[in-house]
């Protein structure tokens, strides 16, 4: 395969377009107390939230940058070169007609309204800092399901937000959770009442359009006793030469016997830093599943975690990461067993190609009170090309003798024999490799709704094109 | 005389100039290093500050020099204060054992070049620099080209000498079986020791290295072992720490030539409040080398075992085969096992895998053994013995293996369950 083809690959990133910037409000570049106050004022927030933001800003300034992870890329970040708040339109749309033409065009090109009509129970579309479109099926509204953007959630359900906001991930947790708490805007607020099963997925779509934009959505999902919900998010951004920052905080609370599945397909352009804190609490007999797909971004650092706090709780993290040229996917999972009879499973699949770097970084902790915990961790990595890199950093801290913990990892390249076989059946080397990669990630793909699985396979085929040779 | 934080760095008047220079250089490095520079991940489970405080108070000690002797089974190296006479062992064997200060010019050059080999993948931390500046016991062992020492060479070390440095040089195609045995001295006022070992294995040489310790219950033993392997060299390292309150070992293997092979075995049976903290890095920089780490740890009472292994395969190290396995058995409610088998892989053409498990005893197995007339304790001890056997089977036959078997057996018997 020619070098030229490889170089051109990123042009195929079909979400790399951007629209002219036309905004109702755009904060000045950089972070200051003033900016934080302005964000709060724009949203007309209660005072406690403003105070919380200001406290978090102070924490953000006190905390050092992480001393681990990709120090080169983290060192290049410039917090003063980022717009922390951009408001694209005056009022949120309830139908696509109300959304400004240029934004609507963007989402049309991303296929959002089409998807909504077909198979979604509700949709939120966030453009820069604000949710521009939001809708939910009538029957769910009647059952008491709340699916709002976070700002409306705060306005309409202040008590609940006050109770749970930051209860799973406090501002002090890490530098980026502090940053998010200080300047958060948008994201989803979801409450599923007792016993309600939302059978088809709720979706959020996050889009960064402006250059040097920082997107800090904040999502809080509460599934009350016996309820279930599946939430899907997708992310894209235009390709710019300067960097953008996406730093979300996602908190999930699964009450006894509730079930939450959270699916992410992250396909940010290669100039986005994706530094996200995601954490769930699972109470007795509840189940939380993180399905995490990382295709885009320059540097992703994301370790969805589950605290199993109630007896019989179960957690699963299933993730794939594909690191291409210039990308570092530093992803993983954390599970903390704090109650008896809890179980967890982590499956991680990473593909490094064309000099990309895939990292699995995980933690499994079994506390003394977590009798009879069951843990299973499996990390597989596929390396394509000699300059690519794959790391595995699994930590397991076991403090209970009744725990049963298993960890396994393998790293391999695409087998020459498999390639030869497929080529002998008439496939080109590219097609054969793509097929092997698709097979490698099949355990992930089959957990996605059909439409997403098809799209993912297509994306991978696109990514794999020209990767060989 | 330099002084920092009350540590005295004595320039030893009896030592040759090159050594004084080297100590000064290491001292300068040490005095520039800060606590904050310590790799937090490396020190996640053991608090370094108090170790350092202990270390400071004992950094000075009498200079000690090695003595070589021989019995029917083995060559023995012991250490005595330097004021005593130089060893007079008439040496017809192709082996040299000496303190660094006694070396002739050629050997001194050789030692310096070994000491200056780069610490790949690893920064030298404050303990390491302090060691090179202040060691009071040094041993240089070199084996001549093509020589094969049949009898094991046993180094009997005591923790009461606070800082020790061991440099081993296996010249081309030589062969050595080295056993390092740590114990507590009779009158122990000092309970902390830092041991540094640097081994250079030249082309085609073969080293079987065993490190075992049975120091008293208060002792804290820190060690840093670095092995450099040239083309086709073979290393078989075995770790068997038994005693001490804290046993922290760092092992680094750097491959300098193609086709080298390093196998590391380890076995831990912790009880009471013992902490075993083992860190290893296998650094593959050149093609077609093999590394293999295999650890089995059992902890009971409130003891804790930590295994952190890292296989780093750099660009160009194609054809590498690397394996890593750590299995843990928890016997009591308050025991803790930490296992972190890491991989950092920069190249495509590798075969690499790792596995780790943590579990407790199977009640079915215990029940079965009890039904055959064993007491519960006997049954558990038998299962633990069986758990260790895959490690024991990997050891080369001979004196070392016999000694390990005996120590493990004794350990199993003495631990109360």
How much of chain A exceeds pLDDT 90, in percent? 57
CB pair distance less than 8 Å for B356 and A398: no
pLDDT (tens digit per residue) in B186-204: 665 667 889 999 999 999 9
Q: What is the pLDDT of residue B320?
A: 93
Q: State the pLDDT at residue A281.
A: 97
Nearest CA in chain A to B308: A395
Beta strands in A112-217 (DSSP E): 122-127, 130-136, 146-149, 188-192, 202-207, 214-215
Distance from B343 to chain A by nearest Cα, in Å?
5
Supply the pLDDT for residue A6.
Answer: 37
Of A368, A393, A394, the CB nearest to B333: A368
Measured between alpha carbons, how far is A171 from A249 in angstroms, rounded to an integer? 10
Q: Decide if B149 contacts B177 (C-beta within 8 A).
A: yes
* Secondary structure (3-state) at B70: strand
Nearest to B350 by CA among A415, A190, A466: A415
Tell me, what's the pLDDT at A262?
A: 95
The DSSP output letter for B38 is S
**Is A398 within 8 Å of B336 when comparing Cβ atoms?**
yes
Q: What CA–CA distance (Å, rounded) separates A347 from A365?
A: 16
Q: Which residues of A touch B40 (CB under 8 A)?
A: 67-68
Residue B368 token pair: 């079965």
Query: Residue B60: how many CB atoms within 10 A of its CB?
Result: 14
Gap from B125 CA to chain A (nearest CA, Å): 16
Q: In 3-state terms, what secondary structure has residue B370?
A: helix
User: Considering only A330-344, B300-314, B393-407, which range has the smallest mean pLDDT?
Assistant: B393-407
pLDDT tens for each residue of B256-281: 999 999 999 999 999 999 999 999 99
- pLDDT for the residue numbered A1: 35
Query: Which chain B residues are closer than 8 Å to A401 by Cβ?
Result: 330-333, 335, 360
A179 in contact with B, Cβ within 8 Å: no
State the residue for tokens 């890199």: A389
Separation of alpha carbons A339 and A309, rounded Å: 5
Q: Rounded to an integer, what distance in angstroms lies between the CA atom of residue A431 and that of residue A441?
A: 15
Residue the block writes with tokens 């994301």: A302
Place of tokens 């977590």: A370
CB contact B333 to A (< 8 Å): yes
B44, B313, B346, B387: which to substitute to probe chain A, counting the most A Cβ within 10 Å? B346
- Cβ contact, residue pair B358, A396, below 8 Å: yes
The first and second tokens of residue B319, run together, are 């054809």
Residue B202 sits at φ, ψ, to 5 deg, of -80, 175
**Nearest residue on chain B to A415, judged by CA atoms?**
B349
Residues of A in contact with B323 (CB under 8 A): none
Please say whether the beta carbons of B196 and B100 come within 8 A: no
Which range of A326-340, A398-412, A437-451 scores highest in mean pLDDT? It is: A326-340
DSSP element (H, E) containing B281:
strand B275-284
Which of A319-346 are b and which e, b meaning 16 or more Cβ less than 10 Å from the residue's Cβ? bbbbbbbebbbbbbbbbbbbbbbbbbbb
Task: State the best of B37, B340, B353 to mutate against chain A, taking most chain A CBs within 10 Å.
Answer: B340
Q: Rounded to whole angstroms, how far apart are CA atoms B134 and B147? A: 33
pLDDT tens per residue across span A438-453: 889 888 888 887 777 7
The pair of three-digit structure tokens given for residue B148, joined into one six-digit string:
């094969």
Instruction: From chain A, pick out residues whose CB is under 8 angstroms from the CB of B358.
Output: 396, 398, 403-405
d(CA A337, CA A315): 9
Q: What is the C-alpha to C-alpha distance for residues A44 and A427, in angstroms, rounded to an integer?
A: 60
- Contact between A394 and B353 using a beta-carbon 8 Å cutoff: no
**Could A407 and B357 be called an inter-chain contact, meaning their C-beta atoms sit closer than 8 Å?**
yes
Sign of CA dihedral B87, B93, B94, B95: negative
Cβ within 8 Å, pair A401-B351 = no
Q: Is B358 on the interface with A (CB under 8 A)?
A: yes
Question: ipTM score of the complex?
Answer: 0.76
Helix, strand and coil in chain A, % to nearest 5: 30, 35, 35
Percent of chain B topping pLDDT 90:
47
Handedness of CA A175, A181, A186, A187 (dihedral sign): positive
Chain B contact for A408 (CB, 8 A cutoff): yes
pLDDT of amino acid B279: 93
Count the neighbouring beta carbons within 10 Å of the beta carbon of residue A429: 16
Q: How far apart are CA B140 and CA B134, in angstroms?
A: 16
Out of B341, B345, B357, the one facing A405 most closely (by C-beta) is B357
Highest-pLDDT range among A83-87, B81-85, B396-400:
A83-87
Would you list the DSSP string of B141-201? EEE-TT-B--SPEEEEEETTS-EEEEEEEE-TT-EEEEEEEEE--SS-S--EEEEEEEEEE
Tell me how close the Cα of A352 comes to any Cα of chain B, in angstroms: 9
| Calpha distance B237→B317 (Å, rounded) | 22
CA A217 to each of CA A96, A129, A149, A266: distance values in angstroms, whole numbers, following the listed order: 21, 7, 10, 14
Averaged pLDDT for residues A376-396: 90
Q: How many contacts, defined by CB atoms under 8 Å, are there between A and B?
A: 115
CB contact burial B393-410 (16+ within 10 A = b; e otherwise): eebeeebbbebbeebbee
Average pLDDT value for residue range A358-387: 92
Tell me the C-alpha distance between A124 and B50, whole Å: 54
Residue B295 bridge partners (DSSP): B266, B326
d(CA B95, CA B177): 12
Whether the CB of A356 is below 8 Å from some CB of chain B: the reply is: no
Asked if the C-beta of B175 comes within 8 angstroms of chain A's C-beta atoms, the answer is: no
Rounded to an integer, the average pLDDT of B57-64 is 68
Option in A383, A389, A406 nearest B357 (CB): A406
Beta-carbon separation of B354 and A400 below 8 A: no
Pairing label, strands B2-4, B7-9: antiparallel
* DSSP structural state of residue A154: H
B331 vs A: CB within 8 A: yes
| Closest-CA residue of chain A to B332 | A401
Percent of chain B that is helix, strand, coil (3-state, to 5): 25, 40, 35
Contacts of A358 in chain B (CB under 8 A): none
Read off the pLDDT band of A98 (50, 70, 90).
confident
Domains in chain A: boundaries: 25-302, 417-469
Nearby residues of A382 by Cβ (< 8 Å), 6 or more positions away:
A349, A350, A351, A352, A411, A412, A413, A414, A437, A440
Mean pLDDT, chain A, whole residue set: 87
Answer yes or no: do A411 and B352 touch at CB < 8 A: yes
The backbone torsions φ and ψ at residue B187, rounded to the nearest 5 degrees and listed phi first, read: -105, 95
**B335 pLDDT above the threshold of 90:** yes
Find the DSSP H helices in A191-327: none
Q: How far is B348 from chain A (nearest CA, A)?
A: 5
For residue A376, the chain B residue with the least C-alpha distance is B357
d(CA B233, CA B199): 12
Task: For residue range B121-173, list pLDDT tens digits in order.
Answer: 566 778 888 888 888 888 999 999 999 988 889 998 887 778 899 999 999 99
**What pLDDT was estimated at residue B6?**
44
Pick the residue from chain A with its C-alpha nearest to B347.
Answer: A386
For chain A, what's the residue count?
469
**A351 Cβ under 8 Å from any chain B Cβ:** no
Cβ–Cβ < 8 Å for B236, B208: yes
pLDDT band, residue B4 (cuts 50/70/90): very low
Residues 205-244 of chain B with CB under 8 A from chain A are: none
Among chain A residues, the shortest Cα distance to B363 is held by: A402
- Residue A190's pLDDT is 95
Rounded CA-CA distance A194/A223 in Å is 8
CB contacts of A396 in chain B (<8 Å) are 337-340, 356, 358
Place of tokens 């090159």: B18
State how far the alpha carbon of A438 is from the alpha carbons of A6, A380, A422, A434, A464, in Å.
Answer: 20, 14, 14, 6, 10
Residue A67, pLDDT above cutoff 50? yes
Distance (Å, rounded) from C-alpha B274 to C-alpha B245? 5
CA–CA gap between residue B333 and residue B300 (Å, rounded): 8
- Which of A386, A400, A409 has the CB atom closest to B347's CB atom? A386
pLDDT one-digit tens code per residue, B350-361: 888 888 899 888
What is the pLDDT at residue B161? 73
**Closest by Cβ to B355, choosing from A389, A395, A407:** A407
* Confidence at residue A228, expressed as pLDDT on a 0 to 100 scale: 96
Picking from B316, B318, B331, the nearest residue to A401 by CB comes out as B331
d(CA A136, CA A229): 14
Check B349 against A413: CB less than 8 A apart. yes
Of B41, B315, B344, the CB nearest to A387: B315
Please report residues of B whose CB lies closer than 8 A to that of A369: none
Q: Is the pLDDT of residue B323 over 80?
A: yes
pLDDT at A317 over 80: yes
Of A186-200, B148-162, B315-329, where does mean pLDDT reach its minimum? B148-162
């986005």: which residue's tokens? A272
Q: Give the position of tokens 């030469």.
A: A241
Q: Which residues of B touch A389 (CB under 8 A)?
A: 344-346
In the 8-state DSSP scheme, what is residue B350?
E
Distance CA B58, CA B135 (A): 11
- Can you say whether the dihedral through the CA atoms of B239, B242, B243, B244 is positive or negative? positive
Query: What pLDDT, on a 0 to 100 scale, did the predictor assign at position A8?
Result: 38
Query: Is it the case that residue B36 has pLDDT exceeding 60?
Result: no
> Within a 13 Å sphere around the CA of A228, how many CA atoms are in the beta-carbon half?
11
Nearest to A69 by CA among A330, A295, A243, A266: A330
Instruction: Yes or no: say if A296 and A272 are a contact pair by the CB < 8 Å rule.
Output: yes
Taking each continuous run of H as one helix and of E as one strand, the counts in chain A are: 14, 24
Cβ of B345 under 8 Å from any chain A Cβ? yes
Cβ atoms B64, B81 nearer than 8 A? yes
Least CB-CB distance to A389: which of B346, B351, B358?
B346
Question: Chain B within 8 Å of A393 (Cβ-Cβ)?
Answer: yes
The percent of residues above 70 in pLDDT, for chain A, comes to: 93
Range 1-40 of B in CB contact (< 8 A) with A: 40
Q: What is the pLDDT of residue A313?
A: 97
**B-chain residues within 8 Å CB-CB of A385?**
348
Q: Do B341 and A399 touch (CB under 8 A)?
A: no
Which residues in chain B are contacts of A408 at CB distance < 8 A? 353-355
Inter-chain touch A411–B355, beta carbons under 8 Å = no
Supply the DSSP symbol for B332: S
Confidence of residue B26 (pLDDT cuts 50, 70, 90): confident
DSSP labels, A26-81: EPPBS--HHHHHHHHHHTT--HHHHHHHHHHHHHHHHSPPPSSS-HHHHHT--GGG
Q: CB B360: neighbour CB atoms within 10 A?
A: 19
């Amino acid at each position: 395969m020619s070098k030229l083809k490889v170089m051109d690959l990123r042009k195929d990133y079909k979400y790399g377009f951007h629209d002219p910037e036309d905004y109702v409000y755009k904060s000045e570049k950089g972070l200051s107390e003033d900016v934080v106050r302005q964000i709060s004022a724009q949203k007309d927030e209660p005072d406690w939230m403003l105070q919380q933001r200001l406290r978090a800003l102070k924490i953000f300034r006190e905390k050092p940058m992480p001393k681990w992870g990709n120090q080169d890329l983290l060192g290049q970040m410039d917090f003063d070169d980022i717009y922390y708040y951009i408001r694209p339109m005056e009022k949120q749309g309830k139908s696509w007609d109300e959304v400004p033409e240029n934004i609507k065009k963007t989402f049309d090109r991303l296929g959002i309204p089409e998807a909504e009509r077909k198979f979604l129970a509700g949709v939120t579309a966030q453009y820069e800092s604000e949710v521009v479109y939001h809708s939910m099926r009538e029957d769910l509204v009647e059952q008491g399901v709340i699916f709002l953007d976070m700002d409306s959630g705060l306005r309409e359900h202040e008590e609940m937000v006050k109770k749970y906001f930051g209860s799973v991930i406090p501002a002090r947790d890490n530098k980026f959770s502090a940053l998010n708490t200080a300047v958060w805007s948008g994201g989803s607020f979801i409450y599923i009442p007792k016993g309600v099963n939302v059978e088809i997925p709720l979706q959020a779509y996050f889009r960064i359009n402006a250059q040097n934009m920082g997107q800090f959505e904040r999502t809080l999902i509460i599934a009350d006793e016996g309820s279930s919900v599946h939430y899907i998010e997708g992310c894209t951004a235009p390709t710019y030469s300067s960097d953008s920052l996406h730093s979300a905080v996602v908190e999930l609370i699964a009450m006894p016997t509730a079930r939450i599945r959270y699916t992410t397909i992250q396909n940010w352009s290669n100039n986005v830093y994706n530094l996200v804190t995601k954490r769930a609490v699972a109470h007795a007999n509840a189940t939380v599943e993180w399905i995490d797909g990382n295709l885009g971004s320059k540097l992703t650092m994301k370790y969805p975690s589950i605290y199993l706090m109630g007896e019989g709780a179960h957690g699963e993290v299933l993730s794939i990461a594909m690191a291409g040229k210039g990308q570092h996917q530093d992803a993983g999972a954390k599970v903390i067993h704090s109650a008896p009879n809890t179980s967890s499973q982590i499956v991680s699949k990473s593909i490094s190609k064309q000099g990309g770097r895939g990292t699995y970084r995980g933690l499994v902790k079994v506390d003394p009170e977590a009798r009879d915990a069951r843990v299973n961790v499996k990390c597989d990595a596929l390396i394509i090309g000699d300059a690519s890199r794959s790391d595995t950093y699994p930590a397991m801290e076991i403090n209970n003798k009744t725990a049963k913990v298993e960890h396994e990892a393998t790293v391999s390249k695409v087998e020459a024999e498999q390639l030869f076989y497929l080529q002998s059946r008439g496939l080109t080397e590219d097609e054969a490799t793509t097929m092997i990669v698709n097979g490698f990630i099949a355990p992930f793909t089959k957990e996605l709704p059909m439409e997403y699985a098809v799209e993912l396979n297509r994306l991978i085929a696109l990514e794999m094109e020209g990767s060989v040779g | 005389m330099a002084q920092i934080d009350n540590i005295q760095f004595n320039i030893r008047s009896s030592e040759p100039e090159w050594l004084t220079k080297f100590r000064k250089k290491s001292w300068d490095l040490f005095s520039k290093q800060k606590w904050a520079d310590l790799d937090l991940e490396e020190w996640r489970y053991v608090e370094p500050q108090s170790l350092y405080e202990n270390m400071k108070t004992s950094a000075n000690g009498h200079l000690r020099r090695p003595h070589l002797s021989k019995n029917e089974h083995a060559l023995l190296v012991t250490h005595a204060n330097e004021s005593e006479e130089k060893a007079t062992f008439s040496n017809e064997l192709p082996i040299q054992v000496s303190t660094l200060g006694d070396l002739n010019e050629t050997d001194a050059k050789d030692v310096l070049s070994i000491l200056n080999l780069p610490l790949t993948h690893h920064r030298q931390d404050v303990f390491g620099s302090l060691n090179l500046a202040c060691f009071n016991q040094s041993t240089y062992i070199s084996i001549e080209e093509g020589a094969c020492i049949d009898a094991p060479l046993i180094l009997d070390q005591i923790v009461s000498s606070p800082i020790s440095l061991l440099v081993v040089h296996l010249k081309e195609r030589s062969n050595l079986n080295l056993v390092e045995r740590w114990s507590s001295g009779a009158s122990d006022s000092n309970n902390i020791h830092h041991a540094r070992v640097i081994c250079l294995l030249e082309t085609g040489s073969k080293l079987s290295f065993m490190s075992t310790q049975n120091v008293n219950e208060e002792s804290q033993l820190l060690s840093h072992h670095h092995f450099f392997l040239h083309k086709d060299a073979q290393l078989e390292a075995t770790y068997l720490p038994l005693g001490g309150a804290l046993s922290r070992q760092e092992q680094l293997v750097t491959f300098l030539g193609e086709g080298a092979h390093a196998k590391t075995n380890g076995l831990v049976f912790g009880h009471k409040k013992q902490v075993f903290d083992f860190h290893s890095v296998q650094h593959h920089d050149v093609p077609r080398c093999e590394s293999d780490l295999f650890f089995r740890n059992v902890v009971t009472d409130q003891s804790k075992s930590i295994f952190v292994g890292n296989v780093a395969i750099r660009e160009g190290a194609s054809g590498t085969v690397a394996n890593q396995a750590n299995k843990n058995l928890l016997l009591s409610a308050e025991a803790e096992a930490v296992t972190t088998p890491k991989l950092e892989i920069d190249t495509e053409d590798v075969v690499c895998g790792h596995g780790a498990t943590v579990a407790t005893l199977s009640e079915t197995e215990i029940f079965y053994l009890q039904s055959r007339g064993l007491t519960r304790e006997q049954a558990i001890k038998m299962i633990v013995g069986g758990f260790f056997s895959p490690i024991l089977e990997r050891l080369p036959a001979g004196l070392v293996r016999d000694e390990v078997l005996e120590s493990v057996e004794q350990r199993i018997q003495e631990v109360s369950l």
